[in-house]
Amino acid sequence: MTAGADVRVAVAAAAQLGESPVWHPGEQALYYCDIAGHQLQRFEPTSGELRHWQFDTDVASLAPLLNGQLLLAMRDGLWHFDPVSGQRARVAAAPYNPAVERFNDGKCDPQGRFWVGTIYEPRDPPRASLNCFTHGQIEPRVAGLTVCNGLAWSPNGRTIHWSDTKAHTIYAADFDAATGTLSQRRVFASFPVKQPGQPLDGYGGRPDGAAMDAEGCYWSAMFEGQRLIRLSPDGEVIREIALPVRCPTMPCFGGPDLRTLYITSSRENRPTTELIEQPYAGCVLALEVDVPGLPVNFAL
């Protein structure tokens, strides 16, 4: 099934809020979350099999563990989850009030620490944060955010990136691999804020989830902008790919050679007219790229 010249639909079953795709190299399968649907999804491209696990609360992001299990970031904490048995065990409680805040984008650094942002649902004031889970403890590292997204590390592991979606800004900081400390925080890229009453066709979107390729270029899903952009290591937009969905949420490199770019998307709370015009909203899209991505980091 195609959705444009280069973009195709990889998973036609629509999620409400598809997010946080992760390519598992050992299984050659794509895991991703449906946050609003309280589901974890697993797609196997070779067989076309799609299966899911249902939970009683939001599941926002994940990372693979070396023992075959997964680390899940859920509204009520961090959990180890066994996809075979369906059993899970909480390893850390949520460090916030779950009535107004939840975990969001999360990924492991090259050393196996799990970094996970939060979203402060009232949006104002900016009370969300970027946190690091290591040695059984969740430690706050960056405060004063609203919607923490876009986690990615440079190929040499010396630079960390994240976005604050509501602020239309992507940040970067120097990263100390030995200690996991951040320094020299700076703006990597910023985008015009949507103005009241501005038509979406004239709006470029705001940076949501992201992925890093082997050349150190940062791929960002521009929520409500109906596009995927590739930024150089200096933060310059060097490629733009139009998408058949208004709200892409996160890209992820997958496939045997990590040259298939999977993109999750959302249909949650979108206008009926938009959903009629965009039947692929909530689906997982895919396209082939020349430069491979970086492999996923496993959680310790």
Read off the pLDDT of residues 23-62 as tens digits, 9 standing for 90 and up. Answer: 999 999 999 999 999 999 999 999 999 999 999 999 999 9
pLDDT band with cut points at 50, 70 and 90 for residue 2 = very low
Q: How many structural domains is the chain composed of?
A: 1
Residue 296 belongs to some domain of the structure: no
Residue 294 belongs to some domain of the structure: no
Catalytic entry in 208, 213, 257, 290? 208
Residue 295 belongs to some domain of the structure: no
Residue 298 belongs to some domain of the structure: no
CA nearest 293: which of 212, 199, 216?
212
Residue 211 belongs to some domain of the structure: yes
Read off the pLDDT of residues 131-140 as tens digits, 9 standing for 90 and up. Answer: 999 999 999 9
Residue 297 belongs to some domain of the structure: no
Q: Is the bond preceding residue 256 a cis peptide, omega within 30 degrees? A: no
Q: Is 221 within 8 Å of 241 (Cβ atoms)?
A: no
Residue 130 belongs to some domain of the structure: yes
Read off the pLDDT of residues 94-133 as tens digits, 9 standing for 90 and up. Answer: 999 999 999 999 999 999 999 999 999 999 999 999 999 9
How far is residue 141's CA from residue 161's CA, in Å, rounded to a whole number?
A: 13
The whole model's pTM is what? 0.97
Read off the pLDDT of residues 210-268 as tens digits, 9 standing for 90 and up. Answer: 999 999 999 999 999 999 999 999 999 999 999 999 999 999 999 999 999 999 999 99
Residue 122 belongs to some domain of the structure: yes
Domain with 261 in it: 8-288
Q: Which two tokens stand for residue 228?
A: 């995927």
How far is residue 56's CA from residue 75's CA, in Å, rounded to a whole number?
A: 10
Look up the CATH number of the domain holding residue 16. 2.120.10.30
Known catalytic residue: 257? no
